[in-house]
Amino acid sequence: MNELKTLRVGILGFGTVGQGTWKHLSENESAWERILGIRLVPTRASVRSLNKERTVSVASNVLTVDSRSIVDDPDIDIICELIGGVEEARELTLRSFEQGKPVITANKALICEHGDELFKAAEKAGVRYAFEASVAGGIPIIKVLRESLVANEFPLIYGIMNGTSNYILTRMENEGASFDEVLGDARELGYVESDESLDLDGVDAAHKAVILGYLAHGMWINLKDATVEGIRRISNEDLSAARELDCKIKLIGVIRRSFDKNFVSIGVYPALVPMNETIAQTDGVFNGISLTGTVVGTVVLTGRGAGQDPTAGSVISDIVDVVKGMQGQASPPKLLHVTPDECEPAPLREISGSFYLRLSVDDRPGQLAKVAECLADHDVSLATVSQTPNDEKQSASIILTTHQTNEHSIGLAINSLEKLDGVKEKPVLFRMFDPNGFIEK
Amino acid sequence: MNELKTLRVGILGFGTVGQGTWKHLSENESAWERILGIRLVPTRASVRSLNKERTVSVASNVLTVDSRSIVDDPDIDIICELIGGVEEARELTLRSFEQGKPVITANKALICEHGDELFKAAEKAGVRYAFEASVAGGIPIIKVLRESLVANEFPLIYGIMNGTSNYILTRMENEGASFDEVLGDARELGYVESDESLDLDGVDAAHKAVILGYLAHGMWINLKDATVEGIRRISNEDLSAARELDCKIKLIGVIRRSFDKNFVSIGVYPALVPMNETIAQTDGVFNGISLTGTVVGTVVLTGRGAGQDPTAGSVISDIVDVVKGMQGQASPPKLLHVTPDECEPAPLREISGSFYLRLSVDDRPGQLAKVAECLADHDVSLATVSQTPNDEKQSASIILTTHQTNEHSIGLAINSLEKLDGVKEKPVLFRMFDPNGFIEK
């Protein structure tokens, strides 16, 4: 290490995070020399259009529309895949591994869908695949989970994993503004992904939950085995009903493990989180993740879950780790207790919890009794009930919370309720956050 | 790495954390083989008395009263220094380095006093000195600061770094119990160090703040250059006055950096923290640390700051890192922006902030005016004032908050107030937490 080696970084995708990474890499070249003993130089970047104006300006000869030429360039040592999307990114990542080049990524969709293949390919090629930036932007959740909490098993990991939906809920909560109104503002601010379903239907958070589930339990849960619901049905009426129950409604990702039965369950859904949980107090574009480990107890991390600088900061900490790895020992430690293939997705019947329900019903005598009876038929018992008439529509809102039941029973109950005479639309169902979400018999 | 190597761990000091480390190490021997490719075996431990009963039982031949014999034992590869105290621990640590053995420690007092010497000795010997467990127990603050947030500079790091004092304040706050009453309970629960000053006078938190200051700014601040105050003067009257101001009083460690002037200031003191800060909501024995980085923004970590399992968990994550290091590349990355010796301790005049003052005064006309005049003489201007008579003592309580001033002026003002006619005892002074604690002119 006496003569100063140069490592060159190629950036695939020169959007917000790509430009941020370039900026911080090039602004700190002397610092890299000091702390890594090498020259670390951002060298080339790929773009969709050469003519677009960008906030980070680079010499014209470093940009190309051909990502593959960067991967294949023998002068490029490290690849940052910040291109987004799945198929092209997958191909470029595998190609990089074949060339013996480590890859740093922020691409949660890719890892969620092809993680198993990609991690195996990286291992086979003997290079690192680093992805701190893929979950919760600037919050160092991957490193904390894998390295700091290596001695733990994790009965529960949960939190706010999507900043855009949290921004919308926070403004609805604080200002009483409607979903549509705040969504309009969020679009204008550029907070909403071009595929809006990623933010509004819980899909982005689900990608992250799947990655955390893999890290904690060594198992890739298929999205179709996960409950994934978004924020579109949350009304201001729900937010104030939750407040009455001393809760806030948050879109949370929940990864639960039953050690008794070796089940893992992953869900993303709106839930009533008790006000005294740090996660309930995590507002605006912030993310927060609560890890409960068998040794450490509960550790909570909060911070910015997205944005140019926080996410680029995570990319850069990965680059530093990767360079350290190239200088010696490579992979970070696996979790102590993870033995892949020993657990399986939990059947709905095994996932217990209590629920919040809002129904719009005809305002006539006996309607509430019918609803209660229908729930009882499915062994769902009521904890609290309130009914408010809505004179304009000659209808009433019934808001219920249930005692402990399970996902299977509540699913059947909802199906029956929807068909019940006098119920006007599909009932709104939210979960009550419950740290003890499996019944360990 | 094909034939299974054995690494043997020697534990100096077999108290709570030492026994926890032994327990988790030995319970998971098969996991070490799987994740590290080696056998990792706790082999010997040193104690003060061989006959004491312990919760973790070990074969009698593994215990010794001679710590040095463990350090010198050629069969021992890794040393965990969990002995506490300074002089003996320092000597044993240096001796371990001389033997080429890495050391894992939870000893904040030792690092605070001799960190510079010890880190240099470890570097010279080419071995790791790992200390995650020394700050905030199970919260992985060292790794996050050094590795995850490598690309940042840190204008502000602050938080609750001592669980015992936070436990006492939380119970006073929640139950209206007196300091002495809760202290008695805390003693019975074994929460208070045998040297009570460590917990009650802010010294333990100051050790941790000095370590964080070193990691963030590359500079060892001497405790005599830090403001270190404890919780003994906090009354229930102060706690409710703080509540009126929508704050909670917390004992916080604060590490501030001015980039303009390259000043670093470290302080530990009771402060009024706005209720919406996660740190204000961090109650009981929990610790919480808020890091504000130039790239990541603000990241907050909360969790258990002490206790057998969380602290042993941190020791174990350090052991895993150290073993990974022994298998290849050693030291974790330095922070990107840290260039030692470029900054210096901030003079008091440069540390700005606003303050909370409680005075016990003679209840007579004109007293408040005298107090206000005395403050104005030192350029301290008032933000809020309230006076409550205390009929029994023919005295009154005056509670004041100030506008922005600096530590130098408020110090002079307090000295004058104490001598002011009609002021009955040394005024109680707490800081108002202020994220912008330097005036950058």
Look at residue A337 in the predicted model and tell me its pLDDT.
64
Chain B residues touching residue A329 (CB < 8 angstroms): 324-325, 327-329
Neighbouring residues of A378: CB distance < 8 A, sequence distance ≥ 6: A409, A410, A412, A413, A416
A102 token code pair: 């480590």
**Complex prediction ipTM:** 0.88
Q: Which residues of B348-377 are buried (b: 16+ CB within 10 A; e: fewer)?
A: eebbbbbbbbbbbbebeeebbeebbebbee
Residues in chain B within 8 Å Cβ distance of A337: 28, 31
Write the DSSP symbol of residue B190.
T
The band of A31, judged by pLDDT with boundaries at 50, 70 and 90, is confident
Provide the pLDDT for residue A441: 42
pLDDT (0 to 100) of residue A368: 92
CA distance A189 to A425: 33
Shortest distance between the Cα of A258 and any Cα of chain B, in A, equals 20
Plot region of B167 (φ>0 → left; ψ -120 to 50 → alpha; else → beta): alpha
- Tens-digit pLDDT profile for residues B190-208: 899 889 999 999 999 999 9
Tokens standing for residue A183: 């969504």
Whether pLDDT at A282 is above 90? yes
| Cβ–Cβ contact B40 with A under 8 A | no
**Pair of tokens at residue A238:** 């729900």
For the cut 50, the answer to whether the pLDDT of residue A1 exceeds it is: no
With vertex at residue B270, the alpha carbon angle to CA B265 and CA B273, rounded to the nearest 5 degrees, is: 90
How much is the mean pLDDT over chain A?
92
C-alpha–C-alpha distance, residues B271 and B159, integer Å = 10
Cβ of A148 and B143 within 8 Å?
yes
Query: Partners of B387 in the beta sheet?
Result: B398
Nearest residue to A351 (alpha-carbon basis) of A242, A281, A437:
A437
**pLDDT mean over A282-295:** 95
Q: Which residues of A touch B327 (CB under 8 A)?
A: 329
- Would you call B114 an interface residue with chain A, using a CB distance cutoff of 8 Å? no
**Would you give the DSSP letter of residue A349?**
G
The pLDDT, as a whole number, for residue B17 is 94
Model pLDDT for residues A396-421, shown as the tens digit of each residue: 999 999 999 999 999 999 999 999 99
Set of chain B residues whose Cβ sits within 8 Å of the Cβ of A322: none
User: What is the rounded average pLDDT of the residues B229-253?
Assistant: 97
Average pLDDT value for residue range A267-281: 96
Query: What is the CB neighbour count within 10 angstroms for residue B22?
Result: 24
Is residue B100 very low, low, confident or very high in pLDDT (cuts 50, 70, 90)? very high
Supply the pLDDT for residue A305: 87
B37-49 mean pLDDT: 94
Predicted local distance difference test score (pLDDT) of residue B65 = 97
* Three-state secondary-structure class, residue A113: helix
Kindly indicate the confidence band of residue B340, based on its pLDDT and cuts at 50, 70 and 90: low
Top residue of B30, B299, B339 to mutate, by most chain A CBs within 10 Å, is: B299
Among B36, B148, B299, select the one facing A317 at the smallest CB separation: B148
Please name each of the domains of chain B with its CATH number: 5-130 (3.40.50.720), 141-304+341-345 (3.30.360.10), 349-432 (3.30.70.260)
Asked if A333 and A149 touch (Cβ cutoff 8 Å), the reply is no
Nearest to A296 among B28, B138, B143 (CB): B138
Q: Between B35, B302, B321, which is nearest A334 by CB?
A: B35
Taking only residues 222 to 241 of chain A, the set having a beta carbon closer than 8 angstroms to any beta carbon of chain B reads none
Name the pLDDT band for B439 (thresholds 50, 70, 90). low
The two tokens of residue B81 are 């220094």
B84: left (phi over 0), alpha (psi -120 to 50) or beta: left
Identify which of B147, B276, B317 has the shortest CB distance to residue A149: B317
A38 reaches B (C-beta below 8 A)? no
Q: Exposed, middle or buried, B339 (CB in 10 Å: 0-12/13-18/19+)?
A: middle
Residues of chain A with C-beta less than 8 angstroms from the C-beta of B333? 35-36, 320-321, 324
CA B264 to chain centre: 17
Angle at B141 between CA B139 and CA B147, to 5 degrees: 135
Instruction: Supply the angle between the helices A108-125 and A87-98 in degrees, to the nearest 10.
Output: 20
- Please report where in the chains the tokens 């994934």 appear, as a residue: A228
CB B139 within 8 A of CB B289: yes
pLDDT at position B337: 64
Verify whether residue B5 is a known catalytic residue.
Answer: no
Nearest to B313 among A151, A314, A325 (CB): A151
Contact call for B35 and A336, based on CB within 8 A: yes
d(CA A382, CA A352): 15
What residues of chain A lie within 8 A of the CB of B31, using their CB?
Answer: 336-337
pLDDT tens-digit readout, B371-430: 999 999 999 999 999 998 887 778 999 999 999 999 999 999 999 999 999 999 999 999
User: Which pLDDT band, with edges at 50, 70 and 90, does B31 fall under?
Assistant: confident
CA distance A229 to A207: 13
Cβ-contact B22, B45 below 8 angstroms: yes
**pLDDT at residue A262 tops 90:** no
Min Cα distance B1 → chain A (Å) is: 12
Q: Does B341 touch chain A (CB under 8 A)?
A: no
Q: Any idea which residue has 């893999």 for tokens?
A: A214
The CA distances from residue A93 to A74, A299, A324, in Å, are: 16, 33, 20
Distance of residue B211 Cα from the nearest chain A Cα, in angstroms? 18
Pick from A336, A338, A341 the residue to mutate for testing the B interface (most B CBs within 10 Å).
A336
E strand map for B368-436: 382-390, 395-402, 405-406, 428-432
State the greatest distance between any 2 C-alpha atoms of chain B, in Å, as a whole number: 87
pLDDT the model gives residue B3: 66
Cα–chain center distance at B74? 35
Please give the residue of chain A at the shortest CA–CA distance from B133.
A148
pLDDT tens, A292-340?
999 899 999 999 988 899 999 999 999 998 998 888 754 555 666 666 6
Q: 272-301 in B: which are within 8 Å (CB) of A?
A: 276, 278, 281, 293, 295-301
The reported pTM is: 0.91
Please give the pLDDT value at position B441.
Answer: 42
Whether B302 and A147 lie within 8 Å, measured CB to CB: no
Pairing of strands A286-293, A156-160: antiparallel
pLDDT band for position B98 (cuts 50, 70, 90): very high
Summarize the confidence of residues B14-23 as an average pLDDT.
95
| CB-based contact B80:B18 (threshold 8 Å) | yes
B243, two tokens: 């509540």
**DSSP string computed for B157-182:** EEEE--HHHHHHHHHHHHH---HHHH
Looking at the partner chain, which of B24, B281, B301 has a beta carbon nearest the beta carbon of A295? B24
Catalytic residue among B208, B419, B424, B441: B208
The answer to whether the Cβ–Cβ distance between A320 and B147 falls below 8 Å is yes
Residue range A73-102: mean pLDDT, rounded: 97
Inter-CA distances, A78 with A101, B65, B164, Å? 6, 52, 47
Rounded to a whole number of angstroms, the distance from the CA of B314 to the nearest CA of chain A is 7
- Cβ distance A309 to B296 less than 8 Å, yes or no, reads yes
Best residue of A32, A135, A139, A148 to probe chain B, by most B CBs closer than 10 Å: A148
Tens digits of residue pLDDT in A115-147: 999 999 999 999 999 999 999 988 999 999 988
Q: Would you state the structure tokens that stand for residue A409, as one six-digit string?
A: 């029973």
B100 is written with which tokens? 């080429």
Q: Is A317–B151 a contact, with Cβ atoms under 8 angstroms apart?
A: yes
Whether the per-residue pLDDT at B47 is higher than 80: the answer is yes
* Both structure tokens of A120: 């195996």
Cα B261 to Cα B441: distance, rounded to the nearest angstrom = 9
Residue in A closest to B147 by C-alpha = A317
Candidates B276, B299, B304; nearest CB to A297:
B304
